Structure 1
Amino acid sequence: MHTLAQLEAGALQGITRLQLAAGLTAFPEAIYTLADSLEILDLSNNALSELPADLHRLTNLRVIFCSNNRFRRLPEALGACPKLEMIGFKSNQIEEVPAGALPEQTRWLILTDNRVASLPERLGMLKRLQKLMLAGNQLTALPASLRQCHHLELLRISANLLTSFPDVVLDLPRLCWLAFAGNPFCESHSEHGEFPQVSMEDLQIHDVLGQGASGVISRGSWKRNIHGFSDEVAVKVFKGEVTSDGYPLDELEACLSLGQHPNLVTPLARMHSAGHAGLVMELIPADYRNLGQPPSLASCTRDTFTAGQSFRIQTLSRFIEQMQSVASHLQEHSISHGDLYAHNVLVNDEGHVLFGDFGAASRYHFLAKYQREGIAQIEARALTCFIEDMLGLCPEEDKGTTEYQRLLARVSG
């Protein structure tokens, strides 16, 4: 994080990334002193409502983030920036997206948690668009031109006002990660009476194990264990607000609808806590670790991995076999995961896989057959990307094996 004082004193000359959060109500003119070097500008968590018309003076600007501000209209000044390709305006009050605000070279557009009711047909001219985040808006339809975005790989349209499934997404040849739950066309949630209901008062909450956009997961133990569960469990308390993937309650619905599988964390009970929904699950043993890391600005939609990370082909093949089994289980239950990535996979030294994070999951059993088949095909592409990533972790000495060649033929065919 930088300060406005540093910027105005000239202490930041030559930097490529600037991050300012200082209650700004106006764009600091001193930012233009960085025009020769600045590539990433993060003005999130301020009180801005507009950007200057001459923003294009930042000739090397590639990425701009303005989340948690007061914009009501996506600034048209963005469209004139010659190198701008990543735009993030999450959690503003944006109602209008002018066609002129979208640079033709856009690869990444985030408008999550705004008030957008429609998008311009110009969206189809963004031939490089790979990631489009639109959850938590007021969209009633998607522009027909979206089918021209042949490079679009990740799309979030959950928690909008869509009255029917947007068939245009089925025409996107590279779409792998789709989330659409929480729209009027979706069926209402089940009561899931097969799971017992417990109270936070039944549990002792210990250390936090992790937290994400949808909630906080903690280790818990029972004060009153009347259902005969394990003494120690994991407890997830869902937040109420919309996330980048959609509504937390849709994640809860997916978790409770899936049934049991050896590569999924087993849900045990529903829980309510201070007005928030919760889920009690089996506790994951401490020897499990993340297989991958989330995408970076550079990789956009593809996972990243630790430098030097590798596995023998036998282990990689086992990872893939287990994920294929999970994917089949999801399809049997008509649930699209929407986020089938290695960074949502945990593995242990024995090569066992646990797959999780259902924040982008969507049920689709109520859709027409061609729509169900199209969604299954989208999920299959995500699995192919996972296999490609796994083969990228294979050491050179195993690339001549029959098993490596078999898996390679699957993704290249």
Structure 2
Amino acid sequence: MHTLAQLRAGELSGITRLDLVEGLTEFPQEIFDLADTLEVLNLSGNKLSSLPDDLHRLSRLRVLFCSDNRFTELPECLGHCQALSMIGFKANGIVRVSGTALPPQLRWLILTDNLIETLPAELGERPLLQKLMLAGNRLRALPPSLSQCHRLELIRIAANQLTELPQWLLTLPSLTWLAYAGNPLETEADAAALEATPLIDWSSLRLEQRLGEGASGVISRASWQPVGQPERSVAVKLYKGEMTSDGSPLHEMNACITAGLHPNLIRVEGRIGNHPEGQQGLVMQLIDPSYRNLAALPSLASCSRDIYTDDCRFSADVALRIAKGIASVAEHLHEQGITHGDLYGHNILLNDQGDCLLGDFGAASFHATTDNLETRALQRIEVRAFGILLGELLARIDSGLSADRRVRLEALEQRCCQPDVLARPGFSEVVQQLEAL
């Protein structure tokens, strides 16, 4: 983190990224002294409500973060920034988004947790648009012009007021990761599954070390003393109340429960009851420490693609074991009326043998379990995510894959990723093909 004092003293000359959090109420003019080099500007966590009209003087600016400020509209000056491709204005209180505020090179737009009721038609006139984060607003419809965004791969529209998914959305050729939970259009979670989940009293749990923290909650190792049984080591996830980029944490909890049992899912032992602060949470299977994440989150540059380490390599058998496990669990989820919404390498835990677990249900959504065109399209959108994952695995196989098997796997990858959504195979067919290999 940088300081205003450093900026004013000229100590930051030549930097490409500036992070400034000092309760700012006005845009520091000294930032323009960095115009020749500044590419990423992070002003999140201040008290700003406007930006200067001549912001375009930052001619190299590609990324702008202004989340957790006091903006009530997306500043129109953004539209004049010719290099600007990523914009983040989460949790501001934004009501109005003008078409003139959208820069021509827009690729990634984050407007999560605001008060937006409508979006301008110009949003669909940004051909590079790839990621669109709109969860936690008041949208009743999406602009039909978005049907022109053939590069759009990820869209988060959870926790809005949408009564239907537009038909054009389900035919977008590149759409891969979709989250729409918490809208009136969504099928309800299985109430019977939620009610049947055991309630685990908070007093029977003893938290130990923290294992991790994400946008939706905190996971800790814990000891659990079930009545009349030996003490057990478990994982406890306590959910936060805030809106995440994917949607509501409580929808995530419902999806974890409804998903049920599968060898490639983290087992849910029960829901937490009688927490002293009323927090919602789950008690889950403790994962062996030999498991690790398959990949890291996408970067600002990769946008919608995971980051893999240079030494991430697999034998053919291990890669196929991962692929089969994930295809199998995705098939299982679809049978329960759930789309995961975030089928990515960074949400997969695996060990050296290729045993794997799919986690993080923050973007999960419910759909009807009957077979119709909408449910088929929703499921085939997720099949594209698997196709991308399969391609990432194939690119990292260093031994044991015959030319014939590679050709067949590459053909499967291409079928999963083809632009005609309904022409993609379902996961039952994907599993069968992988089993045949």
TM-score by length of 2: 0.91
Q: Contact 1:53 / 1:77 at 8 angstroms: preserved in 2?
A: yes
- Once the two structures are superposed, what CA deviation does each residue of 1:79-117 show, in whole Å capped at 9, x if it has no partner? 000100000001111000000000121000000011111
Deviation at 1:230, TM superposition (A): 6.7
Distance in structure 1 (CA, Å) of the matches to 2:202 and 2:15: 48
d(CA) in 2 for partners of 1:379, 1:228:
41
> How far apart, in 2, do the equivalents of 1:255 and 1:285 lie?
19
Match of 1:204 among 203, 206, 231: 206
Q: 1:122 to 1:32 in 2, by over 3 A?
A: same
Q: Distance in 2 between matches of 1:229 and 1:219?
A: 17
Given the alignment of the two structures, is residue 85 of structure 1 paired with residue 88 of structure 2, yes or no?
Answer: no
Checking the alignment, whether the CA contact within 8 Å between 2:82 and 2:104 is kept in structure 1 is no
Residues 196 and 38 from structure 1, CA distance in 2 versus in 1: closer, same or farther, beyond 3 angstroms? same
Q: Provide the rounded CA distance (Å) in 1 between the counterparts of 2:359 and 2:383.
A: 17
Q: 2:164, 2:105 → 1: CA distance?
A: 30
SS in 2 for 1:216: strand
**Aligned partners of 1:214, 1:57: CA distance in 2, in Å?**
37
Structure 1 residue 399: Cα displacement: 6.2
Aligned to 2:426: none
Partners of 2:317 and 2:400 within 8 A in 1: no
User: What residue in structure 1 maps to residue 217 of structure 2?
Assistant: 215
Deviation string, structure 1 residues 197-244 (Cα, Å, up to 9, x no partner): 122112111111111111111111124x12858711111111111111
Gaps of 5+ in 2: 416-437
Q: What is the CA-CA distance between 1:194 and the residue it aligns to?
A: 1.6
1:301 is aligned to 304
The residue number in structure 1 matching 2:423 is none
1:304-336 deviations in whole A, cap 9, x for unaligned? 011222111221111111111111111111210
Q: TM-score, normalised by structure 1?
A: 0.96
Query: Quick one: which of 287, 290, 310 aligns to 1:287?
Result: 290
Distance 1:307 1:83 in 2: 30
State the distance in 1 between where 2:50 and 2:95 align: 14
Match in the other structure for 2:410:
408
Match for residue 365 of structure 1 among 363, 368, 371: 368
Q: Name the residue aligned to 2:5.
A: 5
Deviates more, 1:228-237 or 1:213-222: 228-237
Distance 1:79 1:230 in 2: 59
Are 1:344 and 2:347 an aligned pair?
yes
Deviations 1:259-311 (A, max 9, x none): 11001011111113222211111111111111111100111001001122211
Among the aligned pairs, what percent are the same residue?
A: 51
1:140-178 CA deviation, whole Å, 9 max, x = no partner?
111111111100000000011112233331121100000
Task: Tell which deviates more after alignment, 313-322 or 172-181.
Answer: 313-322
SS state of the match for residue 284, structure 2?
strand
- The number of residues matched between the two structures is 411
1:13-32 Cα shifts (integer Å, max 9, x gaps) = 11111110011000000010
- C-alpha root-mean-square deviation of aligned residues, in Å? 1.6
Q: Residues 222, 400 of structure 1: CA spacing in aligned structure 2 closer, same or farther, 3 A cutoff?
A: closer
In the alignment, structure 1 residue 238 sits paired with structure 2 residue 236: no
Could you tell me which residue of structure 1 aligns to residue 431 of structure 2?
none
Change (3 A) 1:368 1:100: farther
Q: For structure 1, which runs of at least 5 residues remain unmatched after alignment? A: none
